[in-house]
């Protein structure tokens, strides 16, 4: 087989085009177990014929060590074809076949990655659509071969920019993100699915006249709220609550019972949460909220709120225990958990049984938080103003001492 390789946006293949056609046609014929291979080669001597004959799980079943090379060969043949066949017009057909039939996930993803990268040219709608289809094929293959975490998850945050490059419609953007979210859910990657929901909610304008966009935003927002309550590894509630689509849905009542849950998560301390959970147990169960996990999350958020109220001041373990309704002996464990979650930074003193919060994360940074910050800045300003006379006096004393020492150290040289 002639050598082939991929490099950035180009495919290099060795040999004349006609020889490449014949060689790849022969391989496809052998994979299809054609009896009269020479006759098959002579009948399939165009790029279009090779593409047609390669799909249906034929070329995708090539040996893993040759998979990338034979597809690079096919891409090169199509790119240089004289029958005016464009790679962009058959990219989706090839990509979907690889996604459905490649036996090697890693090998198939390399093929799709090469195909995506060589789809270049003017930023036309056809090119953008082709790249979107190839990406979707990557998601399908990565899902089927359990490689989502290694391949697709790192790209989720870049998807809005990629959508802009592709120039695809708002409905296609929603559909792709929903497919990624659902795939991550199926793979039991809950935290990653939650992050995808945040991206989707940032992309979708809930106030849009598009009923599809609004419906998708409402469904995803409700899912993200419940997911936040259940996921122990996710504690930044402001990242969700501050999204424009979530705020719009909350104002309009579009979140339904999930909106009540969000309000409780944002404003309740643990005692208030316990009352809410008891009064709405059936609602929470219907939403899919895990009562135990949500209660633990509210304990962490309550400790963070307590730390915000006492920033820079020692907080006794007893105060924390009372706030989250646990034994005082268990407080140290909860403080470690809340520090590990990133909600606060601080120091514990096991001797005095206190915690000194030095930094904290607010559940939601709104008007009340800005007011508290302003008051704290005013206090710091007053403290600095009180220090100014002390500093000025210290500088004066230092200058006088320096002058005295200079006089004592004077040197006189006589002729």
73-91 burial code (b ≥16 CB/10 A, e <16): bbbbbbbebeeebebbebb
What are φ and ψ of residue 113, in 5° steps? Answer: -65, -40
Distance, in Å, from the CA atom of 342 to the CA atom of 321, rounded to the nearest integer, reads 20
Q: How far is CA 86 from CA 130, 136, 264, in A?
A: 11, 20, 56
pLDDT tens readout for residues 248-289: 998 988 899 999 999 999 999 999 999 999 999 999 999 999
How does residue 400 score in pLDDT terms, banded at 50, 70 and 90?
A: confident
Q: What local confidence, expressed as pLDDT, does residue 355 receive?
A: 95
**Residue 14 in this model has a pLDDT that exceeds 70:** no
- Looking at the DSSP assignment, which residues form a beta bridge with residue 316? 354
Average pLDDT, the chain: 86
| Radius of gyration of the CA atoms of the chain, in A | 32
Residue 261 burial (10 A CB sphere; 0-12, 13-18, 19+):
buried
Distance, in Å, from the CA atom of 295 to the CA atom of 2, rounded to the nearest integer, reads 63
- Looking at the DSSP assignment, which residues form a beta bridge with residue 349? 354
Secondary structure of the chain as H, E, C letters: CCCEEEECCEEEECCCHHHHHHHHHHHHHHHCCCCCHHHHHHHCCCHHHHHHHHCCCCHHHCCHHHHHHHHHHHHHHHHCCCCCCCHHHHHHHHHHHHHHHCCCHHHHHHHHHHHHHHCCCCCCHHHHHHHHHHHHHHHHHHHHCCCHHHHCHHHHHHHHHHHHHHCCCHHHHHHHHHHHHHHHHHCCCHHHHHHHHHHHHHHCCCCCCCHHHHHHHHHHHHHHHHHHHHCCCCCCCHHHHCCHHHHHHHHHCCCCHHHHHHHHHHHCCHHHHHHHHHHCHHHHHHHCCCHHHHHHHHHHHHHHHHHHHCCCCCEEHHHHHHHHCCCHHHHHHHHHHHHHCCCEEEEEECCCCEEEEEEECCCCCCHHHHHHHHHHHHHHHHHHHHHHHHHHHHHHHHHHHHHHHHHHCCCCCCC
pLDDT tens readout for residues 173-228: 999 999 999 999 999 999 999 999 999 999 886 445 556 667 888 999 999 999 99
β pairing state of 10-13 and 4-7: antiparallel
Distance, in Å, from the CA atom of 70 to the CA atom of 127, rounded to the nearest integer, reads 23
**Residue 332 in this model has a pLDDT that exceeds 50:** yes
144-148: average pLDDT: 94
Residue 407 burial (10 A CB sphere; 0-12, 13-18, 19+):
exposed
Q: What is the largest CA-CA distance in the chain?
A: 120
Distance, in Å, from the CA atom of 218 to the CA atom of 187, rounded to the nearest integer, reads 23
Higher pLDDT, 272 or 408: 272
End-to-end CA distance of the chain: 101
Most confident segment among 44-48, 335-339, 391-395 = 335-339
Distance, in Å, from the CA atom of 301 to the CA atom of 137, rounded to the nearest integer, reads 40
Token couple for 143: 């899902």
104-126 burial code (b ≥16 CB/10 A, e <16): bbbbbbbbbebbbbbbeeeeeee
Q: What local confidence, expressed as pLDDT, does residue 373 receive?
A: 53
Nearest to 307 by CA among 282, 266, 339: 339
pLDDT tens readout for residues 67-95: 999 999 999 888 887 666 788 889 999 99
Query: What percent of the chain lies above the pLDDT cut of 70?
Result: 84
Token couple for 117: 């990268």
């Amino acid at each position: 087989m002639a050598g082939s390789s991929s490099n950035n946006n180009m495919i290099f293949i060795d040999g004349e085009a006609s020889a490449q056609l014949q060689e790849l046609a022969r391989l496809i014929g052998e994979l299809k177990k054609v009896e009269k291979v020479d006759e098959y080669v002579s009948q399939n001597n165009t790029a279009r014929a090779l593409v047609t004959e390669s799909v249906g799980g034929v070329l995708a079943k090539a040996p893993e060590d040759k998979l990338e090379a034979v597809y690079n060969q096919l891409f090169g043949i199509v790119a240089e074809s004289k029958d005016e066949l464009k790679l962009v017009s058959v990219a989706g057909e090839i990509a979907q076949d690889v996604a459905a039939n490649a036996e090697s996930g890693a090998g198939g993803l390399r093929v799709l990655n090469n195909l995506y990268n060589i789809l270049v040219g003017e930023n036309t709608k056809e090119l953008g659509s082709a790249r979107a289809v190839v990406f979707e094929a990557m998601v399908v293959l990565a899902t089927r071969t359990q490689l989502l975490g290694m391949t697709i998850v790192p790209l989720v945050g870049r998807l809005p920019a990629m959508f802009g490059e592709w120039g695809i419609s708002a409905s296609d953007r929603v559909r792709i993100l929903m497919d990624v979210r659902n795939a991550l859910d199926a793979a039991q990657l809950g935290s990653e699915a939650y992050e995808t929901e945040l991206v989707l909610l940032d992309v979708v304008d809930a106030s849009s006249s598009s009923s599809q966009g609004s419906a998708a935003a409402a469904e995803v927002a409700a899912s993200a709220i419940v997911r936040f309550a259940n996921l122990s590894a996710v504690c930044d509630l402001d990242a969700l609550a501050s999204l424009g689509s979530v705020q719009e849905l909350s104002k309009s009542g579009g979140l339904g019972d999930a909106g009540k849950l969000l309000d409780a998560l944002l404003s309740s301390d643990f005692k208030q949460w316990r009352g809410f959970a008891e009064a709405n147990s059936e609602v929470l169960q219907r939403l899919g909220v895990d009562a135990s996990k949500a209660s633990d999350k509210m304990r962490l958020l309550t400790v963070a709120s307590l730390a915000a109220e006492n920033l820079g001041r020692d907080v006794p373990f007893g105060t924390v225990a009372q706030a989250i309704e646990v034994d005082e002996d268990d407080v140290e464990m909860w403080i470690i958990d809340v520090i590990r979650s990133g909600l606060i930074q601080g120091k514990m003193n096991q001797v005095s049984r206190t915690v000194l919060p030095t930094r904290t994360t607010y559940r939601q940074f709104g008007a009340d938080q800005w007011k508290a910050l302003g008051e704290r800045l005013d206090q710091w300003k007053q403290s600095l103003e009180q220090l100014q006379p002390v500093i000025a006096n210290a500088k004066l004393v230092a200058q006088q001492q320096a002058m005295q020492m200079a006089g004592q150290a004077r040197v006189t040289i006589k002729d």
